[in-house]
Every structure is written in C-alpha cells, then in structure tokens.
Amino acid sequence: MKKIGVLTSGGDAPGMNAAIRAVVRTCIYNKITPIGIYEGYKGLIENQMKEFSSRDVSNIIQRGGTVLKSARCSQFLTKEGRLQGYKNILANKIDGLIVIGGDGTFAGAKVFFEEFGVPIVGIPGTIDNDLYGTDFCIGYDSALNTIIEAVDKIRDTASSHNRLFIIEVMGRDAGFLALRSGIGVGAEAILIPETPVYTEKLIKKLKDQSTQNKQSMIVIVAEGEKSGGAHAVAEHVKSNCPEFDVKVSILGHIQRGGSPSALDRVLASRLGNAAVDALKNGSKNEMIGILHREISHIPFEKAIKHNVNINPALLKLSEILAI
C-alpha cells in the first residue's frame, strides 16, 4: 500500500472527523500517502481528490460533521458511474479505499469491490447504530447525548405545565436511539419499529400514569415507528384522551450535529487506525468494528444483511422503570 483514499458517505455522524484524522495520521506514520476524497462516491466519480498532510486534519477531532463532506450519489448506482470512479482510482494510483458510513455506503463498496477488485475497508459511521458486527457505530453515543440533553429541557417545561410531550427521534428502520434515549430520560413510553404497536395499550398506560398525578409525561417515538411518527401518535392520544395537554417535538437533524462525545472520539480514532492496518495487512471487502471492546473484522455482506436485534432486556427495563 502506497496510497490510501478515504471518503465519508451517506448521513453525517459526530466523530467522522476523528476517524478521518486517525486514517490520515496512521497512513503518514506508516509512510503511506493519504488521499482525501470529497463528497463521498460523487467525489470519486468527479475526481475531487487531494493529498492530505497531518496539518490538514489538525483541530478537527472536536468538530461535528465531516470535513470531507458527504453526498448521495445516484451515479454510483450505475455501472458507468462506478467505472468512472475506478478510472479515477487508477489515474491517482490509489491502492485501497477506506469508506466511512452506514449500510448504503457499505452496499456500494461491496459492489465496487466485486466489479473492480479494489481493496476496500469500511468504518461504521451512523447514528442509527444498526450495523451487524459492531457494538457501537461512530456518532451513536453523541446523538444519544444530544437527545437526552434536549429532552431534559423539554421535561422542565412539561413539568411546569403538566403536559404530555410526544418527542420524535431519528431511526427510520431501527429503534436503538429511541430505546436507549427513552431509558436515559425516564420516558413514560417508548415506541420503536421493532416491536408491535398497540395504541390502545399506550392510551391505557398514559391514563394509568395520569392517575398517579405525574407532573409530566414523555413519550419517545422513533421516526419510522409503525403508527406513523410523533404527529400520528399525538393525534390518536388527543382523540382518546382530550384531558391531556399534548405537545409534539421533532428533534430532527439536531441529532446529527454537535461536538462528538469522548466515547465517539476514542472509538473513531481506534477504528480509523485499525482500518489502515487492515488494508496494509491485505484485508478487503470488510467492515472494521468493535465487539466486546476489541477490534472486529466483518465482511460487508454480513454487516449490511444481518439485522441487529433490539436487546429484550432493555425493552423490559424500559417498562419496569416507567411505572
């Protein structure tokens, strides 16, 4: 390995910059030239590349987002687009790629490897934390902390007015953020895509809790939850419980931004370093994760095709602590 390219793709996540920094500096330490590729696979196709120095990644470990930018790229879904990306890799004499992102990013990397044989290693960067083969993805812990800080503030105003807040968090297909943040803020109910929604059960639960003279109630809803998200849940509650003062809050993209937590900075640094070592040692077509505090190597096919199950013990805990 003489040259390694690095890109970020898909949704941004706090800690991506820490991973980029680790990749660049590990490359330099090993006398490998790091090439930054801007705007994900779009930059690969459009040849938006630059040789990075250690100075280029100074003072970015604490910044959210990604200095390499990210973009959705419909061209990369086509054979012609991927071929152009491969030609640019050859023209720039890049020997391997490190891609930072989620399942869509890794699905693209898998196809690219199968077509052209370019060694590719992935680093999991998604606040959804829904990739198989790693306990944590970069950005997940930071997003959790952002949600908890926001909901704590909402709880203050909810308590002042005896209100019920329905709060929507990210997680179109996965409820990890909703479940853990719900436990963390002491939510009265948590609705996630992985479990059946019984709206009547929710109504009964809220009514039972209201008889306990709770000063406020918080319901956390994942955006992809089967009942339709926070607004749909709120309308159902209003129609069945007119006595409740119901408010809706959509946290939205605030969850993606902000300075990464200490956990995400260290995780990203470890994964960035391990990704370079993996390519240097001949690995390809795999994701570098963290399992039981140790670095793990998972083929892309497993990482993107194996659903990660919600921990049933956490579901039970959320029910026990919400009484």
Count CA atoms within 13 Å of residue 294 on its CB side. 3
Residue 7, φ and ψ in degrees, nearest 5: -145, 160
Where residue 168 falls (left for φ over 0; alpha for ψ -120 to 50; beta otherwise) is beta
Reduce the DSSP state of residue 109 to 3 states and report it. helix
| Residue 11 DSSP label | S
Structure tokens at 24: 């660049």
Reduce the DSSP state of residue 264 to 3 states and report it. helix
| Residue 59 DSSP label | T
| Residue 163 DSSP label | -
Please enumerate in sequence order all residues whose Cβ is within 8 A of that of 298, keeping only pairs 6 or more positions apart, or say none: 132, 133, 134, 286, 287, 289
Reduce the DSSP state of residue 133 to 3 states and report it. coil
Q: Is residue 128 among the annotated active site residues? A: yes
Contact (Cβ atoms closer than 8 angstroms) between residue 118 and residue 96: yes
- Of all helices (H) and strands (E), which one includes residue 253? none
Structure tokens at 85: 């990306």
Please enumerate in sequence order all residues whose Cβ is within 8 A of that of 212, keeping only pairs 6 or more positions apart, or say none: none
Structure tokens at 211: 């008889």
Q: Choose, from 12, 56, 95, 128, the residue flagged as catalytic.
A: 128
Q: What are the residue numbers of the active site?
A: 128
